[in-house]
Structure 1
Amino acid sequence: MKRKLILSLIGMLAFTLSCNDNILDKSNPNEFTPESFYKNGDQIVGGVNAVYSSLQSLDLFCREYFFLHDMRGDDVASGGGQLETHRGQLLTGTHDASNGVLMQVWRGWYRLIHQANQVIDNAPKATENVTEELKLRVVGEAKFLRALAYFDLVTVWGGVPLMETYAKAIGEDKPRATADEVYNLIISDLQTAIANLPLKAEYNDSNVGRANKEAAQNLLARVYMQRGQYNLAEPLLAEIINGGAFNDWADVPYIENFREENEFNTESLFEVAFTEANGGSSWDATGQGTSTEVTFRGQEYGPNAWRNLIPSTSLMEEYEKVADGDPKDDPRYNDTFYFIGDEYSNGTKVLENWGWKKYQKIYKADNEDQRSGINMRVMRYAEVLLNMAEVQNALGNDGDAIDYLNEVRSREGVEMPPYPTANYPVNSPSEVFRAIIHERRVELAGEQIRNRDILRWRALGKLPSEPLSYYAEKHALAPIPQQEINSNAVLTQADQNPGW
């Protein structure tokens, strides 16, 4: 269900420095500070809603987030469109610390962290028309969102400056923390979120887009997997699977996870909501504007739009050919990509080019433009099962790992032959892991997960071969944006990641 998630609170939550001149040292009764705003239940909910709004920003899920992760993986190639230089550099590994995409995503996450910290610090102080249960939930939501931000930062950049409270004055710079210190905060935040967030099923329709317990559990499982702590990820994933909330997930046709009509469905754990109801193109880097809440994903990747990024050859070749006839008979092949001659616009038109099908609205529209209201799916249940398959393989339980893989392959509209197959025998742990790599790639293609998989498997020594032709040791971590080093008084060039 579409709904307006947020009110623009940046102006109300702004704070100003005091003037030394006493005659000017006056309080404006019409201007809120974080300390004066969070007084009642509506205000603390409004505060956390503003944090969700930052996810919609141009710096994050509206545009730059999917560019960053897709271009640092191997799911995409240049479509020969209008791919700007700074994007092309990420695609070929020729970027440096001045890269604009890196800077925008970094800035987007820290803006969100600042807002989340305001909620975490001030919501517990609310006393008017508020229950303790609501305060715990709101802080749990803010900690989930802060953990989501720091997890992205630490996987892309390693250790980063750690802001655990919101800045109250200019110049409250923080040094670079270690990756372990960042992970410790993420884990603590998610443990709090898990303890205090409702289950997905406990939210009513008007709150369906909020962070829930299962999403926090899956995010914490991602964290442990990224660190090679598979034994700690297992019980988190098991609780989601055994909880029963997603028993009907396989009834959702695969393609419906990427269309507008079936958002927040029974497979969904967490989505970033978008809608065309509030206006056109959103070039808002903050996400706090109230007039537009759209994503450019369709425009950027669309086969009859800008077509800046197209599916890579290696991704296309990953899909299975099980029988004679069509080149690929995994149904996800045709649900993930459009091809020349495919019908679109409710079957009234025929495509003259090929490209991505996920997140494209031309199944019902004449063209892609800068107004797409299709939600970005951040977590869905198929990933939970694939996470558990990797966990079981790592723990030596290959029979269970295969069962989880086959559950993904048996969903409605996919119904692929179960493992083992001729292409993927599973007679050894390494063969099972090869099947896991394959299944994650074809199931989650274009969902900004492949980059994190490559980073994890490379760091843990599990990557069978290097998928990026340009890869050098320095590419293990992205360069800290030079603008951050220049503006942060306690960072120096010595804090830059190796090789940059």
Structure 2
Amino acid sequence: MKRTIISTISVVVLSTVLSGCMDKLEILPNDQIITENFFEEGSPEEIESGVNSMYQRLQSSYMYNLRMWTLDIVAGEGRVGNEAGGNGLETTQLSNFTATSDNSGAKELWRGPWAGISRTNWILTNIDKSPKISDAKKTQYKGEAHFLRGLYYFNLVRLFGDVPWIDKQQTASDDLQVSRTSKDIVYQHIIDDFSDAASMLPAVYENTTDIGRATKGAAFGLLAKVYLTLKRYNETLVAIDSVMNLGVYSLNRKYEWNFSDLRENGPESLFEVQYEKDVTAYSEFDILGQGGWHHEYMAPLASINIGGPWGNFGWFAVYPEFVESYEPGDLRKSVSVWCEGDVYQGWSYDPTCSQTGHNVKKFLCENIGVDRAMDSPLNFPVLRFADVLLMQAEALNELGRSSEAAALASSENDGGPLNRVRVRAGLPNVTTTDQVELREIIRHERRMELAFEGGHRWFDLVRYDNDGEYAKTFFQSIGKTNFTTPKHLLLPVPIDDIDANPNLLPNNPGY
């Protein structure tokens, strides 16, 4: 069941313009000015629309509607297709490791989270002032704010390293020439945010109109991912146990159900970005738009129009190396990538549609809006239970508990975490308990299970070791010889922002 809970909010120094929405986007007037006594006088509905606004930046092209999934191109899973007229040049430069500090893709990834962070701080600073909101609801709203601030910062710190830590609403009297904060300190703040969120949020929501909000399980799941990134494996397992003990999550019986607009926010979903079609308040490329871009960007550039009125862009051409990495019988292959002989509504996929012979299929949506472009209703997954299981397998293996990581499974519902994921994919159980062998198997399994889902592969490549040699070896194996360490483990802070605020110097190594 789909419920869109996203609002929009523009935070200026002295005033805020709010356009809120609940369910099918019940829009407040775009010219409504949020005064300093908004929280004291605002109705519960108005306050909720402000809370909802914290989620909006996740929807934008600066994050999960474009930039986050193009990190899978940077990670070497494919190339930009349809480069006519310079389309995707910034992503091509990033993926060829030739980008400089004026790269627009890096700039959008840098700038994308800050509006969301500002909104979370706005809520955390002011929500207790509202006399019309119950204490229980205030706790929930603060939990959502902590969760989202943690998520926004988690993406920032993994991409850019040291970033400014801002944890309060900024005003005209504040010094806006902020400096970068050590990534170690930022990570501790992220851990605190997810921990606070887990203590404040419900495991499930009673009201179906709240589907899509952050939950206790989402907070524990992302906390586990933070600990795994920091190689704090015991703490990873504690956070994952907290997810398991909720009794809320399970693997979908079929892998493809994770990418159906008819099965969104299902039992495998810990958190996903909500999208909705036919919301006409915004134009197709509006950063505040509610429709998903994934279908039209990724669908094959073909004679058949399986997109909106503009057709398909064929923008993610998948490398044969990735396609050939599927094991025989892997059921995920036909769900994730277009291959010769694939048929859709009587049309057979032609490999000449793509410069590589393949395109991404995972976000194909038959229910896409036909009258508007860039208007898919299909949500985008941020964290799935399969990811949690594979994190559990990795942590167990790194702690020498390899037999637990690879315990035999008879179905997706029982057995060791690695083999539960493999059995669901139609693959045989892994039987080795050799730690080194199992490490590579788990890494391979993460690559195939989470392909094209918002940069998982990139973040995995750069976290597997401390010096980037694992990533370097992989990129060299696919001919990406420009990759160097430590330079390409991080993106550059945009030169425009450094020119405006020299306190952001020094830039990341090599830029």
| TM-score bracket relative to the smaller structure | 0.7 to 0.9
Q: How does 1:326-345 map to 2 (within 5 A)?
A: 329-344=329-344
Q: Are 2:321 and 1:309 equivalent residues in the alignment?
A: no
Query: Does structure 1 residue 436 correspond to structure 2 residue 442?
Result: yes
Q: Tell me: CA distance 1:427–1:190, structure 2 relative to 1, closer, same or farther (3 Å).
A: closer
Q: 1: CA distance between counterparts of 2:450 and 2:347?
A: 28
**Structure 2 residues not aligned, in runs of 5+:** 17-30, 302-311, 407-415
CA offset digits 1:375-430 (Å, max 9, x no partner): 0011111001000000101111001111211011122xx2211113xxxxx24110
> In structure 1, what is the Cα distance between the partners aligned to 2:55 and 2:38?
21
Q: Deviations over 1:159-207 (max 9, x none)?
A: 10111112212752211100011112111111110100000x3343111
Match of 1:26 in 2: none
For the 8 Å contact 1:44–1:119, the answer to whether it is kept is: no
Q: Does 1:481 align with 2:478?
A: no
Deviations 1:443-479 (A, max 9, x none): 1111121111011103277838622223101101111
Q: Which amino acid is 1:445 matched to?
A: A
Q: Moved runs in structure 1, 4+ residues, more than 6 A?
A: 363-368
Change in Cα spacing, 1:365 to 1:483, as seen in structure 2 (3 Å) is closer
SS at structure 2 position matched to 1:278: coil
Counterpart-to-counterpart distance in 1, 2:9 and 2:36? 10
Trace 1:457-476 onto structure 2 (pairs within 5 A).
457-459=464-466, 463=470, 466-468=473-475, 469=480, 470-473=482-485, 474-476=487-489
SS at match of 1:458: coil
Q: Which one of 92, 96, 105 corresponds to residue 92 of structure 1?
A: 96
- Specify which of 363, 382, 387 is matched with residue 359 of structure 1: 363
Aligned to 1:256: 257
Aligned letter for 1:173? Answer: Q
Q: 2:45 aligns with which of 27, 32, 42?
A: 42
Structure 1 pair 79–158 and aligned structure 2 pair: CA distance change class (3 A): same
Q: SS in structure 1 opposite 2:148?
A: helix
In the alignment, structure 1 residue 141 sits paired with structure 2 residue 144 = yes
Instruction: Kindly indicate whether residue 274 of structure 2 is the aligned counterpart of residue 273 of structure 1.
Output: yes
> What do residues 28-48 of structure 1 show as CA deviations (whole Å, max 9, x unaligned)?
x97323553464533332212
Native 8 Å contact 1:14 1:33 kept in 2: no
Residue matched to 2:398: 394
**Number of aligned residue pairs:** 460
Larger deviation, residues 94-103 vs 457-466: 457-466
- Partner Cα distance (2:159, 2:89) in 1: 20
How far apart are the structure 1 equivalents of 2:472 and 2:15? 53
Higher relative contact order (CA 8 A, sep 6+): 1
Q: Under a length normalisation based on structure 2, what TM-score does the superposition of the two structures give?
A: 0.84
Q: CA–CA distance in 1 between the matches of 2:248 and 2:188? A: 29
Moved more, 32-41 or 374-383: 32-41
**Is the aligned partner of 1:415 residue 2:417?**
no
Q: 1:91 to 1:38 in 2, by over 3 A?
A: farther
**C-alpha contact 2:2 2:211 (8 A) present in aligned 1:** no
Partner residue, 1:21: none
Alignment of 1:235-246 (within 5 A): 235-246=238-249
Partner of 1:455: 462
Runs of at least 5 residues in structure 1 that lack an aligned partner in the other structure:
18-28, 322-328, 421-425
**1:299–1:368 CA contact under 8 A, matched in 2:** no
Percent of paired sites with the same residue: 30
3-state secondary structure, aligned to 1:379: strand
Q: Cα 1:109–1:372, aligned 2, differ >3 Å: closer, same or farther?
A: same
Asked whether the 8 Å contact 2:13–2:171 carries over to 1, the reply is no
Other-structure match for 1:297: 294
Match status 1:152 vs 2:163? no
What CA deviation, in whole Å up to 9, does each residue of 1:7-57 have, x standing for no partner? 44437x77259xxxxxxxxxxx97323553464533332212011112112
How far residue 489 of structure 1 moved from its aligned partner, in angstroms, is 4.9
SS in structure 2 of the partner of residue 378 of structure 1 = strand
Q: Matches of 2:105 and 2:10 in 1, distance apart? A: 23
> In the alignment, residue 404 of structure 1 is paired with which amino acid?
P
